[in-house]
Amino acid sequence: MAQKQEEVQIVPENRVYGRPALLTDRVMHYCPGCSHGTIHKLIAEVIDEMGMQDRTIGVSPVGCGVFAYNYIDIDWAEAAHGRACAVATAMKRLCPDKLIFTYQGDGDLSAIGTGETIHTCNRGESIAVIYVNNAIYGMTGGQMAPTTLVGMKTATSPNGRDVKLHGYPFKIAEMIACLEGVRYVTRQSVGTPAGVRRAKKALRKAFENSMEGKGLSFVEFVSTCNSGWKMTPVAANQWMEEHMFPFYPLGDIKNE
């Protein structure tokens, strides 16, 4: 006869981990090892902790992160490729009491959307821009992106990025940091538990700046794309630390 197990009641102070309340039950489509899922988790946690679920609008354009609206239970708008900052500008001006943020990849924000991004930053719109930099076009076949490192092989640079042919990788975070309308620029990563904790604090600060009307906040995530890089998740994390971090150093770039 099986012994009846006693029910264990979990009280808040004894909870070790709980699924973020704003994450939906839908299975994420991202590849194993992808950074997007962890970043989604942090966004959901911060919005929930701020009590902003009913006052938040996310803007996702084309790219791997376009389906973020399936996974975080807030209001969303989908923008044309590269135009998320322009859409977010309109939303924040029409609804200044809302938390407005964009969720964009490197090909979207720093290639097709460079113009919209720079002018939105220069105007100092009180939105938060979340920028996922994995140095490649992950969704459309692994092509070279503006952020692809020198010598890095991609589908369109099979011999490695050549400065004479392709130019230099684009450090857009450093560039926009000099704009007067930008309040906060930081570069984070979620490859380690410590990195996850720092990234969450950065998101919280960016969202609070938005609600306080302090100007634009820009949070870059240096991330992996093990499918595009043709690596295992473990090898991709190691490659990111050895090659991405030296060129895209983590930490605050501007904090006013």
- DSSP result, 125-146: -S-EEEEEE-SSBTTTTSB--T
pTM for the whole structure: 0.92
| Interacting residues of 151 by C-beta distance below 8 A, sequence separation 6+ | 160, 161
Q: Is residue 149 part of a domain?
A: yes
Query: Could you tell me the residue range of the domain that residue 107 belongs to?
Result: 28-255
- pLDDT for 181 equals 96
Q: Is residue 180 part of a domain?
A: yes
> Which residue ranges of the chain lie beneath pLDDT 50?
1-2
Q: Residue 249 corresponds to which tokens in the numbers above?
A: 């150093």
Q: Is residue 3 part of a domain?
A: no
- pLDDT for 32 equals 87
Q: Is residue 110 part of a domain?
A: yes
User: What's the domain count of the chain?
Assistant: 1
- pLDDT for 65 equals 82
Q: Would you say 134 and 105 are in contact if contact means Cβ atoms under 8 Å apart? A: yes
Q: Is residue 96 part of a domain?
A: yes
- pLDDT for 12 equals 64
Q: Is residue 21 part of a domain?
A: no
Q: Is residue 2 part of a domain?
A: no
For the domain that residue 93 is a member of, what is the CATH number?
3.40.50.970
- pLDDT for 67 equals 87
Q: Is residue 55 part of a domain?
A: yes
